[in-house]
């Protein structure tokens, strides 16, 4: 990245990806060359394969510990997208093939991987109920319960929304689902680094992504309930690795890196959560002090994500003015397109505001001085951008936000 002249780069896009922790990188490096643990863990019977298998098993235990899970239930994948697809498609296809039901419950605000997998299931004959959040971004537990049917086979919900940071009460939802045969899948990609997880709450499937908690890209995991055994239809075929659910030679260095990153999370999770909560609150208040700022996601949020819309600016123009700050215009999954975020649309945010939304996401090495410098740069850029728009002049003269953008989001404006 090339920062603006005289401006140091500041990374605030940790919800998109995190840098690999140096200790995790060091562990990975020890699994690459001839003097390290480079063997194929499936090559049982010689020292190289046995050493690799030992490291993979250790990593599996480390990742399982993130959610107090049985290591035997951890299936390695290429990341959360594959984990989500394996969970959603695997459960429903298995059930449909045996006539056990075809109904799925999810939310309009889910990650695109979940929504795309559900769309595919609909093409295959499944029925999907898409829950709509309130304007605060939350999905009420009662809405989940009201959507349950006798033929519901899967409920799939995010623990933390990747765009707004809004939390879903996983534990409460799981408790209410205990008397229903539906399988409960939780996308925990954004929560594992900061929030307590325990599959003992009643979570049957849990998706994780290494690069969201300071591990390498290209590796993730799906926890699958081991007792009583939960059956899935695999997505790929070709070997008996990972209990036949995910064939292919295991990338030992990536698994070891994810395992080390998971172990570091358990050491630092509480401290990281409290520190980042304070920094995010400082950022939020500083932005609200700038006037004409709308917070997207007013429900309880994770400590590291803040999504805001700026009244009276064009999102892409403001993003160019903020060159040198690593943040997402919308989210990493939607910022490459010119359409408004599906998450914000589901919350009732008007397109004009959604297209001027930015996601700030802080991380392990974010400092207080980073927050203050970002606030100063945003204030300067906003002042310059707003001088060019009639929308800002109208807003300052008292025109309600509802009239400017066709939304009642003005109640949240600073």
* Per-residue CA distances from 326 to 46, 144, 211, 342, 358 (Å): 47, 36, 16, 22, 11
28 in Cβ contact with 227 (< 8 Å): no
CA-to-CA distance for 181 and 40, rounded, in angstroms? Answer: 39
Do residues 362 and 286 touch, judged by C-beta distance below 8 A? no
At 339, phi and psi to the nearest 5? -95, 155
Q: Is 31 a catalytic residue?
A: no
Cβ–Cβ < 8 Å for 157, 110: yes
* CB-based contacts of 312, cutoff 8 Å, min separation 6: 292, 385, 386, 389, 391, 392, 393, 395
Separation between Cα atoms, residue 90 and residue 282, nearest integer Å: 43
Q: Tell me the CA end-to-end span of the chain in Å, nearest whole number.
A: 32
Which residue in 59, 84, 107, 333 is the catalytic one?
333
91 half-sphere exposure, CB direction, 13 A CA radius:
32
- Strands 205-209 and 183-187 come out as parallel
Q: How many CB atoms lie within 10 A of CB 150?
A: 9
Here the tokens at position 259 are: 């395992």
φ, ψ for residue 286, nearest 5 deg? -65, -40
Q: Is it true that the peptide bond before 228 is cis, omega within 30 degrees of 0?
A: yes
Contact 241, 52 (CB under 8 A): no
Provide the H-helix boundaries in 124-184.
141-147, 170-177
CA-closest candidate to residue 260, choices 13, 56, 79, 83: 56
Catalytic center residues: 333
């Amino acid at each position: 990245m090339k920062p603006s002249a005289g401006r140091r780069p500041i990374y605030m896009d940790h919800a998109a990806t995190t840098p690999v922790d140096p200790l995790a990188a060091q562990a990975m490096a020890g699994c690459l060359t001839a003097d390290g643990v480079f063997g194929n863990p499936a090559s049982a019977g010689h020292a190289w394969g046995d050493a690799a298998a030992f490291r993979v098993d250790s990593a599996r235990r480390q990742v399982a510990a993130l959610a107090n899970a049985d290591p035997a239930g951890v299936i390695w994948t290429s990341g959360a997208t594959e984990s989500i697809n394996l969970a959603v498609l695997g459960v429903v296809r298995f059930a449909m093939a045996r006539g056990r039901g075809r109904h799925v419950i999810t939310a309009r605000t889910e990650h695109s991987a979940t929504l795309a997998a559900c769309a595919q299931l609909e093409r295959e004959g499944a029925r999907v109920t898409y829950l709509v959040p309130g304007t605060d971004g939350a999905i009420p537990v009662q809405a989940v319960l009201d959507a349950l049917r006798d033929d519901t086979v899967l409920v799939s919900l995010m623990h933390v929304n990747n765009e707004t940071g809004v939390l879903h009460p996983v534990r409460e939802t799981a408790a209410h689902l205990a008397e229903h045969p539906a399988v409960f899948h939780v996308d925990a990609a954004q929560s594992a680094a900061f929030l307590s997880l325990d599959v003992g709450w009643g979570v049957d499937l849990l998706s994780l992504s290494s690069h969201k908690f300071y591990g390498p890209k290209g590796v993730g995991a799906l926890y699958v309930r081991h007792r009583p055994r939960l059956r899935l239809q695999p997505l790929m075929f070709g070997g008996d690795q990972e209990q036949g659910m995910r064939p292919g030679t295991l990338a030992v260095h990536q698994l070891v890196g994810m395992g080390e990153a998971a172990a570091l999370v358990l050491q630092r999770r509480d401290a990281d959560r409290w520190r980042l909560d304070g920094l995010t609150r400082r950022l939020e208040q500083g932005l609200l002090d700038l006037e004409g700022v709308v917070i997207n996601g007013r429900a309880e949020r994770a400590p590291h994500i803040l999504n805001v819309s700026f009244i009276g600016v064009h999102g892409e123009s403001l993003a160019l003015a903020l060159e040198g700050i690593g943040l997402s215009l919308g989210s990493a999954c939607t910022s490459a397109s010119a359409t408004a975020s599906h998450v914000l649309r589901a919350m009732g945010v008007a397109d004009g505001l959604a297209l001027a939304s930015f996601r700030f996401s802080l991380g392990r090495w974010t400092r207080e001085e980073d927050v203050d410098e970002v606030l100063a740069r945003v204030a300067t850029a906003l002042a310059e951008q707003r001088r060019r728009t009639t929308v800002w002049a109208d807003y300052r003269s008292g025109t309600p936000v509802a009239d400017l953008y066709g939304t009642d989001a003005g109640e949240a404006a600073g």
